[in-house]
Structure 1
Amino acid sequence: MRFLAILSICLFVGFLGNAYAGDEVLAEVGPYKLTKKEFEAQLEAAPPQIKMIIAHQPELKKELVKRWVEISLFALGAQKAGLDKDPVVKRQIEEATKQILAQAYLEKEVLGKVKQQVSDKELRAYYEKHKDKFQEPEQVRARHILIAVPQNASKKEVEKARKKAEEIRQKLLKGADFAKLAKEYSDDPGTKEKGGELGFFTRSQMIKEFEEAAFTLKPGEISEPVRTPFGFHIIQVEEHKKARQKSFEEVKEKVKEEYLTQKQQEALEKALSELKKKYKTKLNLENL
């Protein structure tokens, strides 16, 4: 119940009236009306986690409407008791109103206008100027079999592990299935059951010794046993992609996201500057 109360307040605070004209009314309390469109608009504007909860429990919608009724009743009760005249409550209402107005101003007069003004020409210009940010680095897709060696292993243990790795390598060179041997011999719990599959990775994502070996192999080649702090690895590269420049069409959405963020930050700073000139501002931080 407490969760529902919090959820309903999150959705409906500031929306106790002004229903959409000509819409179905879901609930009515005194002067307040909750319409279907208003209710759905609030659900659509809810945070992702709340949307997910409601999607999995659609029956909560009825409970939320009931909570809206309760909030409306309590609001009317507070007005009847004169609490809207209480200095503390009045201050809280002023602060809440200020935050709602500030958010609306930002969305409609500052940030929203930037979205409407962005053109493909601007996005292409931003892409050309920042091409280096939209490159696909060199990468390889590989498998490996790990023969683990403890950090405090003796020379005899190290040699035993190296010998085992070499024996497995010879089987592979004779045509044995890499994935099958990985499942049988690998000591890497993260890839063992996947046949040693590591997927694609770029430089600097792996330990130096492993990286150097993987990026020098040609597709299909099998490495000598490669020593790392984890032990001996036998690596097979399946695919090698060279670094390339991504086209504008490929990264258009990412370009738009970055460009909008930059333009919105500029618009925000400009709006603040203009408002500071228009309205007197005074800070007394020393009083903190």
Structure 2
Amino acid sequence: MFWEEKMERKGLLLLTAVLMLTACKKEEKPQGKAIARVNGIYLLEEDLKVLQVPGLSWSEEDRSLLLDNWIRNTLLYLGAREEGLDQDPLLKRKLLWSERMLLAQEYLKRKSAGLTVTDEEIDSFLKDREELFKQGISIVIVFFSDSNRAPYIRKLLRRRGRRYRYAMEELRNQSDINVTELDSVNLGYFFLEFRSIPEVLKEKLRWMRKGQVSKVFSADGEYVIIKLLEKFPLVPQKSEVRSYIRQVLYERKRAALEDSLVEALRKKFKVEKISGGS
């Protein structure tokens, strides 16, 4: 599994490299150590450093795979250019937008380079939440857009045994109702991951009993009802919990930084939404 994830990440980076290379308008003499060449287009040792994932090292097998894929994609690029695709107006626009997105992501990456999450911040976060990570739950979450459907949904969710199974089938067959079942989920992780669930409803889960159905709550323009199927104790690894929380807090900081950057740039540059475009 680790190897597959590792190669998947490298595959995404390789795709980025190909996009960068295919954007070149002309062949140039290499300004560094060349490790491959296709018709005057070079892959340099420096390119591998740019692509390197921090904390991961490449084996000879990895390098060989990357070279083979680079050669294949460069040949396809040359074939496309030979047929004039590099002059296609739509593709030029796509390349332009790819470049803009790459620069935007790199800008955000560099601005967030100094973000850290301290042990004290994790301790503070866990102060009133540590017990959540010691509980596991199995639940059914039902989202719907028409509040008038709430009594019907709650009635079906209250059924038991075989009648409950039939009720679930009935709910799933409703086009305006979205049913999600979560089996054996850490309650602490649920609190952090499901941002679309209202906090007040999450708090209800702390005290709900097996088989209990919640009241209806509004959530991001929709309505939601939860049924608690099971609740059981857990003994989580403390290091795993702290590592998970560190990542969550980091992502929240990064999102807040992005919002602040966008707001500052919005004041600096003129933004206009133009209606009437086709």
Q: State the TM-score, normalized to the length of structure 1.
A: 0.44
Larger Rg: 1
Q: State the TM-score, normalized to the length of structure 2.
A: 0.45
